[in-house]
Amino acid sequence: MSRLGILGGGQLARMMALAAAPLGVPVVVLDPSPGACAGQVAPLLAGGFDEQAALARFAARVDVATFDFENVPATSGDWLRRHIVVHPGPDALATAQDRLAEKTLFRELDIPVPAFADIGSREALAAAVADIGIPSILKTRRLGYDGKGQFRLRPEMGGAAVDAAWDALGPQAGRTGLILEGFVPFDFELSVIAVRGRDGAFRSWAPTRNWHVDGVLSASLAPAGVDPEIEAEAVRYARRIAEALDYVGVFALELFCRDGRLLANEIAPRVHNSGHWTVEGAETSQFENHVRAVMGLPLGSTATRGHACMLNWLGAMPDPGPVLSQPGGHWHDYGKSPREGRKVGHATLRADSPAELAAALEAVGAALDRRDQVAPVLGELKS
């Protein structure tokens, strides 16, 4: 069996390695940190993504490479491609690394997007703010994640908004580029997790409804329980993107929905936090199908099994007892040391009906004192 290498050794690599094991696919992980959590379940090479010697050691041990982290330098990806198979491909990675490139692609594919403008200077920011208006969000084009590298321009900031935004992110403009986006007062956020095989086969899981706190995913619900026509449209967009990029592997498309209309926010060219529920809530998980896709194996069914809610644990792991004592309760501890704001694990609750899922969620929220985290999901399940 061919061997799989993963660039990046975080929880995504860890869950991919766990899914690869029963398929008989040996995994090696490359990460700058020797303590990266995927190293607890797969051999880990410690080395930088831009270190030639580390890449050479990695390439010598694997046949196919993939990513748990999309910000691997393009030059490293190009070097690896000359020696081994790498999925997803360079276009997908380059596009997903740059918010301007991805929004431009969405527009070319007739996928609606929020208003946006490329920002190269304070003057360009002032002009774009005059055009797009406030509220809006200034974001780094590259290297931002989980709400980092973002500044919200709010109406109450008045005339000081442009200066405040430029003071916050202007110094990074040369390194990461900047983009201004109109703020979307969305009714809800939706993501589509989809997979495309080497042979072009396309499958998607049930679109997922997501709740963020301070730009970081807090809870996901699948099926999302939204209008089937909106879900079908979201899947059509995901398919269009996958085909345009000749994508191989799993990716996520994140969308806002406002007044029944979808607007695309971004794509993540990898397995995604909002697809963690698929481990227990779908016939084949996103991790398994990603491994199958990049290794050239047939894709598994993405059919949903009942109703699932994923809760992210940030900072430190709570007591597992209340989740484990639920009939459909599943625990995922990433084996990371606690640190404020860090994603350290998640729980998935699975049930056969929305009412049973709501009951389990209510019990867990109360027992762990996480009522605020479960409240929006409960609101949705009970509506």
Residue ranges that bind ligand AMP, judged by CB under 6 A: 114, 137, 144, 147, 181, 183-184, 189, 212, 215, 254, 265-266
Which residue lies nearer to ligand AMP by CB, 87 or 343? Answer: 343
CA atoms within 13 Å, Cβ hemisphere of 141:
21
- Written as six digits, the tokens of 241 are 């993107």
Label each residue of 130-143 as H, E or C.
Answer: HHHCCCEEEEECCC
Q: Helices marked H in the chain — which ranges?
A: 11-23, 52-61, 74-81, 90-96, 99-108, 122-132, 161-169, 173-176, 228-244, 278-281, 286-295, 321-324, 354-367, 371-382
Instruction: Report d(CA 143, CA 186) in Å as an integer.
Output: 24
Which residue lies nearer to ligand AMP by CB, 28 or 263? Answer: 263
Name the residue number minimizing CB distance to ligand AMP.
Answer: 184
| SS3 of residue 120 by DSSP | coil
Closest Cα partner for 222 from 231, 209, 204, 241?
209
SS3 helix, strand, coil % of the chain, rounded to 5? 40, 25, 35
Which residue lies nearer to ligand AMP by CB, 25 or 238? Answer: 238
Rounded to the nearest whole angstrom, what is the least distance from the CB of residue 99 to ligand AMP in the complex? 7
Instruction: Report d(CA 53, CA 30) in Å as an integer.
Output: 12
Rounded to the nearest whole angstrom, what is the least distance from the CB of residue 215 to ligand AMP in the complex? 4
Rounded to the nearest whole angstrom, what is the least distance from the CB of residue 181 to ligand AMP in the complex? 4
Which letter does DSSP use for residue 315 in this model? S
Which residue lies nearer to ligand AMP by CB, 114 or 322? Answer: 114
Q: Which amino acid is at 158?
A: G
Beta-bridge partners for 42: none
Which residue lies nearer to ligand AMP by CB, 189 or 356? Answer: 189
Rounded to the nearest whole angstrom, what is the least distance from the CB of residue 146 to ligand AMP in the complex? 7
Instruction: Report d(CA 371, CA 325) in Å as an integer.
Output: 18
| SS3 of residue 160 by DSSP | helix
Which residue lies nearer to ligand AMP by CB, 186 or 202? Answer: 186
Rounded to the nearest whole angstrom, what is the least distance from the CB of residue 70 to ligand AMP in the complex? 12
Which residue lies nearer to ligand AMP by CB, 181 or 356? Answer: 181
Rounded to the nearest whole angstrom, what is the least distance from the CB of residue 189 to ligand AMP in the complex? 6
Rounded to the nearest whole angstrom, what is the least distance from the CB of residue 184 to ligand AMP in the complex? 4
Closest Cα partner for 66 from 283, 286, 264, 359?
286
Rounded to the nearest whole angstrom, what is the least distance from the CB of residue 354 to ligand AMP in the complex? 24
Which residue lies nearer to ligand AMP by CB, 44 or 253? Answer: 253
